[in-house]
Amino acid sequence: MIRFGPGGIPLSCKGRTQRDGIEDVHTLGLNAMEIQFVRVNLFERYASDEEIGSRPLEVCGEFVVDVLRGRKPVSVFGPELRLEKGDILRTLNCGVGRDCADLREIGEIADDLDVSISLHSPYYMDLLGSEEIAGRSVENIRYGGLVAREMGADVLVTHLGFYHDNSPEAALEKVVARLREIRDWYDRMGIRTKLGLECSGKRVVFGGLDEIIAVCKRVNGTVPVLSFPHIHAREGGALKRKEDFRELFDKVRDQLKLASFYSHFSGVEHESGNELRYTPIKKGDMRFEPLAEYLADENTDITIISDSPLLEHDAMYMKVILERVQLKNEAKVTREEVKVTAPIRPPAKPIAPPKKGKAPAKIAKKGAKAPARRPAARAAAGTPARKPAKKPAKKPALKPARKPAKKPAKKPAKKPAKKPAGKPAPKRPAGKARPKRKR
């Protein structure tokens, strides 16, 4: 089964408690959540009179993680311990739950909603530092194991620390010794939660993939946490193709014989083999599609936690991509099955070329109505066959009407010619009157 979930309470969740986060994860269609156990605040007090005779895990309102007894207080904490007068109780305030009853209720809610929960220890862990720092880191991993036990968490994720002045070989031996001490204590406390060792994204930090595999081989109860962005950054951008992820999984599976995997995914910016920062998946140079193609082919049992700044949004994005790849593969298989089961049809007869002198038959267009079939001859004896209807004689084509003759264009009327000017009348001599006309 492939599970997706955010590394912490979803950003879209209105409430900020672990209960609200688990319910919101279920509502979003996700089925995993990594609870952040990043605050470790210890308080010490003496056992009250009402608490004497009870077990540490039965104390109400507080989560007891250790009991000191004697003049020189020594830890006597154990699952069957009964409190006595003068015992010093160490209580934990971590922001996950108030007491054992509260933590168990969170685990029950997760079981009812089918949400797989895990726990991440404080981010600053250094098992290779000074005695004080290494001792504090061991205590934090112990307290995280107690919280994980009450909640029913599957994995407690932790970092391992810097190399400091240690060589890789010396660092490996020290880490193995510290983790064996922690696992022995887990066995005495009845803690069955697996200790997940996260691959580191910087070369100055212990936790290359080969180193994590070597530790898991030597310490029982430990599993690798395949942080893909860390591995990608530390190896200089090595995870880009489906084959790259296949080689990684084959390497881990062959050496540790694992049936299921726990991993982190996000985008990442890196430089010179060192992680710089997490980014949304779409902005990093490591895409999720190649991993989705590998998971769809192999059907691997894996939990993928989104470490992206977008948390649940990128967790849902990864789930959508995986579903698309799976549907694509199913469609491909279906097409191949249809090809196998379909009957083999004989090849179609080739179309003979048209004979010379004959025009090729017209090809009917799509959607055109097929010509009506001629009625079959009547089978009954004595029934005269219908005579084909005579086609109406073709009417002679009408002669086109004559076009009217064009009238000649009117010539412009000639202007009358000017009469030549007459001779001027003779002038009368002076003194003679004009002769009168006869009436």
Residues whose CB falls within 8 Å of the CB of residue 233, separated by 6 or more in sequence, listed in order = 201, 202, 268, 270, 273, 274, 275, 276
pLDDT of 201-231, one tens digit each?
Answer: 999 999 999 999 999 999 999 999 999 999 9
pLDDT of 44-93, one tens digit each?
Answer: 999 999 999 999 988 999 999 999 998 888 888 888 899 999 999 999 98
3-state per-residue secondary structure call for 320-351:
HHHHHHHHHHHHHHHHHHHHHHCCCCCCCCCC
Cα 214 to the center of its chain, rounded Å: 32
Question: With contact defined as beta carbons under 8 Å apart, do 122 and 38 qualify?
Answer: yes
Cα–Cα dist 165/128, whole Å: 9
Beta-sheet pairing, 274-279 with 267-271:
antiparallel
pLDDT of 176-204, one tens digit each?
Answer: 999 999 999 999 999 999 999 999 999 99
Residue 397: count of CB within 10 angstroms of its CB:
6
* Confidence (pTM): 0.75
Q: Where are the domains positioned within the chain?
A: 2-40+94-337
Residue 402: count of CB within 10 angstroms of its CB:
6
- 2-40+94-337, what's its fold? TIM Barrel (3.20.20)
